[in-house]
Amino acid sequence: MSTKPHLDILYREVSIAEARESLRIALPVLREFVDFGTNALMRCTLSVEGDIFEDMTVLALYRHILEMTDAVELLLSHGSAVPARPVIRSSFEALLSIEYILESDETYCERALSWLVNHFHNSRKFLETLIPETGKGVEFAKALASDPIGPRITLPSADDARRQVSVLDQLMSDQRLRKVVEEFKLKPRAKWYSLFDGPNDLRALARHMNQLARYDHLYRIWSSTSHSLDLRPFMALSGRDEFRIGRIRETSEYQRLRNWRRLSHWMPR
Q: Which tens digits make up the pLDDT trace of 185-244?
A: 999 889 999 999 999 999 999 999 999 999 998 899 899 989 998 888 887 766 666 777
Please check whether residues 119 and 85 belong to one and the same domain.
Answer: no
The average pLDDT across 146-175 equals 94
Low-confidence winner among 48-62, 78-92, 124-138 (lowest mean pLDDT):
48-62
d(CA 264, CA 62): 11
CB 172 within 8 A of CB 117: yes
* % the chain with pLDDT above 70: 90
Question: Helices then strands (H, E): number in the chain?
Answer: 12, 2
Q: What is the pLDDT of residue 269?
A: 36
Asked, for residue 149, whether it belongs to a domain, the answer is yes
Asked, for residue 141, whether it belongs to a domain, the answer is yes
Please check whether residues 4 and 97 belong to one and the same domain.
Answer: yes
Asked, for residue 143, whether it belongs to a domain, the answer is yes
Please check whether residues 97 and 116 belong to one and the same domain.
Answer: no
Asked, for residue 47, whether it belongs to a domain, the answer is yes
Confidence check: pLDDT of 265 > 50:
no
The average pLDDT across 9-24 equals 88
Please check whether residues 82 and 213 belong to one and the same domain.
Answer: yes
Confidence check: pLDDT of 115 > 90:
yes
pLDDT digits (tens, 9 = 90+) for 43-80: 998 886 766 788 999 999 999 999 999 999 999 999 99
Domain boundary among 198, 227, 249: 198
Please check whether residues 2 and 99 belong to one and the same domain.
Answer: yes
Please check whether residues 2 and 91 belong to one and the same domain.
Answer: yes
**Residue 142 or residue 252, greater confidence:** 142
Classify each residue of 193-216 as buried b or exposed e, where b means 16 or more C-beta atoms within 10 Å of its C-beta.
bbbeebbeebebbbebbebeebbe
Please check whether residues 92 and 216 belong to one and the same domain.
Answer: yes
Low-confidence winner among 5-9, 63-67, 118-122 (lowest mean pLDDT):
5-9
The pTM of this model reads 0.88
Asked, for residue 203, whether it belongs to a domain, the answer is no
Q: What is the pLDDT of residue 239?
A: 60
User: What average pLDDT does the structure give for the chain?
Assistant: 89
Domain containing 5 equals 1-103+209-269
**Residue 130 or residue 249, greater confidence:** 130
Confidence check: pLDDT of 148 > 90:
yes
Please check whether residues 156 and 88 belong to one and the same domain.
Answer: no
On the CB side of 28, CA atoms within 13 Å amount to: 4
Confidence check: pLDDT of 259 > 80:
no
Q: What is the pLDDT of residue 52?
A: 72
Asked, for residue 75, whether it belongs to a domain, the answer is yes
Amino acid at 35: D
Confidence check: pLDDT of 267 > 50:
no
Please check whether residues 43 and 92 belong to one and the same domain.
Answer: yes
Domain boundary among 152, 170, 198: 198
Domain count, the chain: 2
